[in-house]
Amino acid sequence: MTQAKTHIRVFNLPWRGLPEDAEIFAIGDVDGQAALLVAALSAIAATPRSAKTRHLVFFGDLVDRGPASVEAVNLAMDGKSQAGANHLHILPGNHDLMMLDALEVEGNLAHWLMNGGKSVLLELGLSDLDTPWPEIAAHVRGSLHPIYLSEIKNGPTHLTLGYLFFVHAGIHPSVNRARFLAQDRHSIRANDHWAIIRYPFLDWTGGWDADVSDVSTCGTGLRI
């Protein structure tokens, strides 16, 4: 029996630091836990600056599951003043996008609710059992910060600062990076999407090709 060959790529690259004269604080998966977000933002604000410019990055899932999604969103949108930051970046996660889909198409409501959206309805005093979808959609939209809704619908899906790359779930090591990141943000169901991927991203040990966007292995991939 012929044994399959294993190809191993070994990388030995110099450390690539943060953008010049900048510091970055990144927060992911707040999941409606506003009280914890208050503590995190307070800790950031109390941290002495180490650079001229401070970036605050939220890379997805501000809502669902926790008891205070509306407050969590408002805190994030006020992140510059809350954390003493110069730049605020809001990226979408799969829960933000499931909610967005549910607000736009009634047929997507059940998928959002079964994945954490019921906590948002409970927070707003709504129930899918006795509240019609148009009322649910209007109430949720009216309760959430309009700029947040605009960002998760139309804003960037990923961010590059220097040699650091931010995206909600990850990138695929064997799919063209540009094509992978160009996937539509609506009606996410596949497991190989930038907002939901787990494997092979999490167990990939082959390294990432820096500064190359059109090769089979993705570039500058780092989630913090």
Residues 26-49, mean pLDDT to the nearest whole number: 97
Express each pLDDT in 157-192 by its tens digit: 999 998 889 999 999 988 889 999 999 998 788 889
CB of 208 within 8 A of CB of 117? Answer: no
Give the chain's end-to-end CA distance (angstroms, integer). Answer: 43
CB of 221 within 8 A of CB of 191? Answer: no
User: pLDDT-based confidence at 5, cuts 50/70/90?
Assistant: low
CA quadruple 178, 181, 185, 190: dihedral sign? positive
User: What is the residue-wise DSSP string for 13-77?
Assistant: -----PSTTEEEEEE---TT-HHHHHHHHHHHHTSPPSSSEEEEEEES--SSSSS-HHHHHHHHH
Give the pLDDT confidence score for residue 214 in this predicted structure. Answer: 35
Give the pLDDT confidence score for residue 94 in this predicted structure. Answer: 97
- Mode of pairing for the β-strands spanning 22-27 and 53-59: parallel
Residues contacting residue 163 through CB under 8 Å, at least 6 positions apart: 16, 17, 210, 220, 222
Give the pLDDT confidence score for residue 189 in this predicted structure. Answer: 82
User: Where is 166: in which H helix or E strand?
Assistant: strand 164-167
10/206 Cα distance (integer angstroms): 7
Closest CA to 121 of 105, 101, 99: 99
Q: Extract the tokens encoding 101.
A: 């889909």
As beta bridge partners, residue 56 has: 25, 88
CB of 5 within 8 A of CB of 151? Answer: no
User: pLDDT-based confidence at 221, cuts 50/70/90?
Assistant: very low
Q: Helix and strand tally (H, E) in the chain?
A: 9, 5
